[in-house]
Chains A and B, each alone.
Chain A
Amino acid sequence: MHKHIVRLLTLIAVVAVVAFSARYLARQDTFYQYGHYRGASVAEIASKLPKHQGSATCQTCHKEIYAEWSSGIHQKATKNNAIQGVVIKSGPGCEVCHTPAGNHPSKEAMPLSVEDRVTTITYARKGLHPANVPDRSLMREPADMRILCTNCHEKIPGRPVRGAVAGTSVPVQAVTDVVGIHGVPQVVVEGHGGAELCTTCHNPHSPRINFASVPRSPVDPKTGKALPVSAEKPGDAAAGKTVAAMCAGCHGEAGVSVNPEWPNLAGQHTNYLSDSIKAFKTGARKNDMMGPMAAGLSDADMRNVAAYFAKANCSVPGGDKAKAELGKAKAAAAGCAACHSSGGLRGNGVSGVSGAQAWPNLAGQNAAYLTIALKAFQDGSRNHAVMTSVAKTLSASDIDNLAAYYASASCK
């Protein structure tokens, strides 16, 4: 046999021996066990730990919030979701907005609030865990939180529409700007709340409007007890009395104004009062008298004087009875009660007494002042996301009637 053929055969033989021994010696034991793959890898893949734990897990500690969610529309949606006999679980659970729980609470903290989630995203690149971020409620910008709502509720083409086969342009019977199939309401953001945050009016856990409970007062998630609204000290009414002396010239010693065109302060919500004074100081609200007056006040002064007037006894100035009757009907139609009634839209509350500390009580206010305020919202000299748009729907006689109605409402 020729030498070069022998060499070739030897080479082939050597390669074959190496290949066969590699196949039988270097191969993992479990290869070919179930097929042309490593059998042990199946259990390895299955042993990974889940990160989404499900909403029921959250219930063990966060009872209050869980109850709030499970009684609201964000969970109720799951119960009425039968399509051709199939009942399908749906409605956003806790982890849809709060991000997956992972090992929380045993090993790692999780973003506890929506604000924290924004922080996590902002800080993720810097290698900081949300638990280690100094100012945990820091949000990059307030609009960041709104994205969580608009992800599902912004009206864009393609989202299923109520009263139409999904995706088609069959006319929608729109009662309001809120439409949707399977209870997914959609809004055009600009025309709905303007720059206001969704959470100003909606409780994200149970977003169907019940203004009596919003903005939700902060609650300790574990004990269910109310937390102070802010870290700031509450105002001291006694200390506020000295500050109030400079207000008395116009607003009266007891908070009842000497001129019906100036607002009564007696019995007003503390937060609304201090927010207003702050707005005059910063220039967000403009008034030739109030600007200079507020400029000299410290934050503590503002809280104190607000506490003083909030404690004062309110009185009902009264208004034209005929107009008040018309105003009552208009107040219901315009939706004033949504914010300015302690019961909200659906509850039985005190009309003219606002559900939230941040919104003013209208009962106990002078009709003349209410008229001025509404007209200011209307012509743009005073600005508020919700009030500006509401005021623009009112006629001059509507404003007169509403003012008369709230001026004669009981303020207790």
Chain B
Amino acid sequence: MTTQDTKVEKEAAKLSRRDFLGLLGKGAACAGAVAGAGAALASAGGANKLGGVGPTYQQEDAQYAEARKNPPKIPNYNWTEHKWAFGVDTNRCIGCLRCVEACKMENSVQMDRNHTRTWVERYTYLEGSDHAHVDSIHDIKNVMPGSKETRFVFDNRYKDAKVTKSFFVPKLCNQCEKPSCVQVCPTGATYKTPDGPVLIDSKYCIGCQYCVQACPYGARSLNHERGTAEKCNWCYHRITKGLNPACVEVCPTGTRIFGDRTDPESPISQFIRNNRVNVLKPDMGNMPNVFYAGIDKEVL
């Protein structure tokens, strides 16, 4: 069905490495810190495949049992009963950028073009050229002149050129099954939840930006006002209340699709079933949870 499923590898628990790391940790001077990181590294293979059943990334069985027994106190919501996923039908995207502005307002992201949780890229093939010209809202030309970078609109820059093919690709955090950003976080400020999203605990984030570098998709940035990392979390405060993420809520064309993969009739389950979908950079092994329909191989 998807590249992700074929890529699942059952990694045998490497007990010897775990023991070795544990011993090393206890023996070293900064015993506490290293022991924690070592244990986290060692359990990296236990990612659950689908459906919120079983421990998530870097979660031990006992901790997963605790997650089922004493879930976080969120009213009318149990995080082990859901497995959220996101779909992007690029055939429908018109590049209106309402999602970008909605996200910024919903999540109080800085309003300039450099800080984004979600963004839209445009791939354009001109006549006689074999590669795509790519631009996104990070380009100053796609910010309304005189608007103090609060309003975004794709500039009609190919008006006089001969365009053979052009399309828009919305991008956001892929909420990977094996998130590189979580693996490198030195303080445990970012983590993978059993229901899907990778969250940031901004109280524990020290703003070292190691995660920004680790993410293969460029989905993370530093919020320069707060001094902590910034990323899309599928509007965790909305989906736990039964709402759609803000970008899905405002999308006027139905490009963005969101739902619960444990429910076979949810929009996302139908989208994955009825379309040929792909994920970005499957060879990185991160196992993304954002599924794309209608993208070229040039889109990464």
Residues of B contacting A165 in the complex (Cβ-Cβ under 8 angstroms):
91
Give which listed residue, A23, A42, A147, A152, contacts B199 with CB less than 8 A: A42
Q: How far apart are the CA atoms of A47 and B73 in the complex, in Å?
A: 9
A68 CB–B CB distance under 8 Å: no
Closest A residue by C-beta to B167: A167
Residues of A contacting B150 in the complex (Cβ-Cβ under 8 angstroms):
121, 124
**What 0/1 pattern do residues 25 to 61 of A give for CB contact below 8 A with B?**
0000001111111111111111111111010000000
A392 CB–B CB distance under 8 Å: no
Within 8 A of B (CB), among A246-265: none
Q: How far apart are the CA atoms of A32 and B64 in the complex, in Å?
A: 11
Task: Give the segment of A80-88, A312-320, A360-368, A375-383 that binds chain B.
Answer: A80-88
Given contacts A23-B36, A52-B106, A167-B167, contact A158 B250 (CB under 8 A): no
Task: Give the segment of A11-19, A200-208, A280-288, A393-401 that binds chain B.
Answer: A11-19
Give which listed residue, A40, A100, A147, contacts B106 with CB less than 8 A: A100
Q: How far apart are the CA atoms of A38 and B63 in the complex, in Å?
A: 12
Given contacts A47-B237, A158-B95, A168-B165, contact A23 B63 (CB under 8 A): no
Count of A interface residues, CB-CB < 8 Å: 68
Q: How far apart are the CA atoms of A159 and B233 in the complex, in Å?
A: 27
A93 CB–B CB distance under 8 Å: yes
B229 CB–A CB distance under 8 Å: no
B164 CB–A CB distance under 8 Å: yes
A50 and B167 form a contact (CB under 8 A)? no
**What 0/1 pattern do residues 12 to 50 of B give for CB contact below 8 A with A?**
000000000000000001111100100110000000000
A37 and B191 form a contact (CB under 8 A)? yes
Residues of B contacting A159 in the complex (Cβ-Cβ under 8 angstroms):
94-95, 168
B189 and A151 form a contact (CB under 8 A)? no
Residues of B contacting A40 in the complex (Cβ-Cβ under 8 angstroms):
72
Closest B residue by C-beta to A102: B105
**What 0/1 pattern do residues 164 to 200 of B give for CB contact below 8 A with A?**
1111100000000000000000001111111000011
A113 CB–B CB distance under 8 Å: no
Q: How far apart are the CA atoms of A156 and B7 in the complex, in Å?
A: 38
Residues of A contacting B250 in the complex (Cβ-Cβ under 8 angstroms):
52, 92-93, 95-96
Which one of B164, B233, B251, B252 has the greatest number of beta carbons of chain A within 10 Å? B252
B203 CB–A CB distance under 8 Å: yes
Within 8 A of B (CB), among A163-204: 165-169, 181-182, 184
Closest A residue by C-beta to B73: A43
A99 CB–B CB distance under 8 Å: yes
Range class of the B interface residue count = 35 or more
B54 CB–A CB distance under 8 Å: no
B59 CB–A CB distance under 8 Å: yes
Residues of B contacting A221 in the complex (Cβ-Cβ under 8 angstroms):
none
Within 8 A of A (CB), among B241-300: 241, 243, 246, 249-254, 257, 267, 270-271, 274-275, 294
Task: Give the segment of B96-104, B207-215, B218-226 that binds chain A.
Answer: B96-104
Residues of A contacting B73 in the complex (Cβ-Cβ under 8 angstroms):
43
B166 and A158 form a contact (CB under 8 A)? yes
B228 CB–A CB distance under 8 Å: no
A89 CB–B CB distance under 8 Å: yes
B153 and A46 form a contact (CB under 8 A)? no
Residues of B contacting A160 in the complex (Cβ-Cβ under 8 angstroms):
91-94, 167
Q: How far apart are the CA atoms of A71 and B159 in the complex, in Å?
A: 35
B204 and A38 form a contact (CB under 8 A)? yes
Give which listed residue, B123, B163, B191, B249, contacts A169 with CB less than 8 A: B163
B90 CB–A CB distance under 8 Å: yes
A35 and B59 form a contact (CB under 8 A)? yes
Residues of B contacting A168 in the complex (Cβ-Cβ under 8 angstroms):
165
Given contacts A38-B201, A42-B199, A99-B105, contact A151 B96 (CB under 8 A): yes
B72 and A42 form a contact (CB under 8 A)? yes
Closest B residue by C-beta to A34: B67
A86 and B124 form a contact (CB under 8 A)? no
Closest Cβ of chain B to A173, distance in Å, is 18
Residues of A contacting B192 in the complex (Cβ-Cβ under 8 angstroms):
35
Residues of B contacting A39 in the complex (Cβ-Cβ under 8 angstroms):
72
B230 CB–A CB distance under 8 Å: no
Closest Cβ of chain B to A391, distance in Å, is 27
A89 and B31 form a contact (CB under 8 A)? no
Residues of B contacting A213 in the complex (Cβ-Cβ under 8 angstroms):
none
Which one of B191, B192, B203 has the greatest number of beta carbons of chain A within 10 Å? B191
Given contacts A34-B59, A158-B95, contact A150 B153 (CB under 8 A): yes
B1 CB–A CB distance under 8 Å: no
Q: A15-B30, A19-B29, A19-B30 are in contact. List 17 more A-B contacts (CB 8 A).
A: A19-B33, A35-B60, A37-B189, A37-B191, A48-B237, A50-B246, A52-B106, A84-B274, A84-B275, A86-B267, A124-B150, A125-B148, A147-B144, A160-B93, A166-B90, A166-B92, A167-B167
* Residues in A lying within 8 Å of B, measured CB to CB: 12, 15-16, 19-20, 22-23, 31-52, 54, 77-78, 81, 83-86, 88-93, 95-96, 99-100, 121, 124-125, 147, 150-152, 154, 156-160, 165-169, 181-182, 184
A-B contact pairs, 25 of them (CB 8 A): A19-B29, A19-B30, A19-B31, A20-B32, A31-B188, A34-B191, A35-B58, A35-B59, A49-B237, A52-B106, A86-B257, A86-B270, A86-B274, A88-B257, A95-B102, A95-B249, A95-B250, A99-B105, A100-B106, A147-B153, A151-B98, A157-B158, A158-B122, A158-B166, A166-B167
- 8 pairs of A and B residues whose beta carbons are closest in the complex: A167-B167, A90-B254, A88-B254, A23-B32, A48-B237, A41-B201, A158-B166, A37-B191
